[in-house]
């Protein structure tokens, strides 16, 4: 049975249009997927597993030791709440300048000191004290060259928790940070990742 010439012509003309539409859809998807993490570098599954396992082992060690130290000296505050964010940098991005020992330890400790100081300004509205704590901690980290994003959260936690004793900056903040760095250093070198960075 012969197909009508007009029908055949119509069907043939639809093929390029379909290809063009598919190409347009693919290009649009590729373009907009950039805003959903498309600029992040590809990571192998072995590296994902290495980072996740390291975070688990490292945090378990840090939390266990910190809890023991806290109970030994009779201090209930043995956990730094932003420790998980710091662990992400140390175990998943060990080569990042933001994950280096000075950045983690000094950034967290400085931000705790700033947050505690801002918590003393009870006359200020909470929103202003929070903004002041975060912005001053960022400024301080710039000055001391110890930028560490999770540290800004330490300053906010001190204000929200109305932490007024400066001991908090030493324990748990500084002690937890040191323990995390030691755990990260051991794990990274055991799994073939040089940490911390060294001068070239």
Read off the pLDDT of residues 117-155 as tens digits, 9 standing for 90 and up.
999 988 889 999 999 999 999 999 999 999 999 999 999
**Alpha-carbon torsion, ordered 108, 112, 113, 119, to 10 deg:** 160
| 78 and 123 both lie in a single domain | yes
Asked if 74 and 25 sit in the same domain, the reply is no
What is residue 21's predicted lDDT score, i.e. its pLDDT?
60
Domain around 142: 45-190
Residue spans of the chain under pLDDT 50: 1, 9-11
User: Is there a domain that residue 198 lies in?
Assistant: no
Q: Do residues 86 and 146 both lie within one domain?
A: yes
Q: What is the pLDDT of residues 158-172, one digit of tens each?
A: 999 999 999 999 999
Q: What is the longest distance spanned by two Cα atoms in the chain?
A: 94
pLDDT of residue 45: 96
Residue with tokens 């420790």: 83
Tell me: do 137 and 177 sit in the same domain. Answer: yes
Residue 160 and residue 93 in one domain: yes
Same domain, 110 and 184: yes
Q: What is the pLDDT of residue 24?
A: 77
**Distance between CA atoms of 95 and 194, rounded to whole angstroms?**
8
Per-residue tokens: 89? 């940098």
Total domain count, the chain: 2
């Amino acid at each position: 049975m012969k197909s009508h010439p007009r029908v055949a012509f119509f069907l043939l003309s639809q093929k390029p249009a379909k290809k063009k539409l598919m190409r347009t859809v693919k290009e649009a998807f590729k373009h907009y997927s950039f805003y959903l993490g498309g600029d992040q570098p590809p990571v192998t599954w072995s590296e994902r597993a290495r980072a996740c396992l390291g975070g688990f082992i490292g945090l378990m060690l840090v939390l266990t030791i910190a809890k023991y130290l806290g109970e030994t000296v009779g201090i209930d505050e043995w956990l730094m709440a932003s420790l998980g964010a710091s662990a992400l940098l140390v175990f998943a991005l060990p080569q990042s300048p933001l994950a280096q020992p000075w950045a983690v330890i000094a950034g967290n400790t400085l931000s705790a000191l700033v947050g505690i100081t801002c918590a003393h300004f009870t006359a200020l509205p909470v929103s202003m004290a929070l903004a002041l704590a975060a912005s001053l901690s960022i400024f301080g980290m710039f000055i001391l060259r110890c930028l560490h994003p999770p540290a800004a959260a330490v300053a906010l936690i001190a204000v929200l928790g109305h932490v007024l004793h400066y001991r908090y900056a030493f324990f748990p903040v500084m002690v937890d940070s040191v323990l995390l760095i030691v755990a990260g250093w051991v794990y990274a070198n055991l799994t073939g990742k040089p940490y911390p960075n060294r001068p070239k």
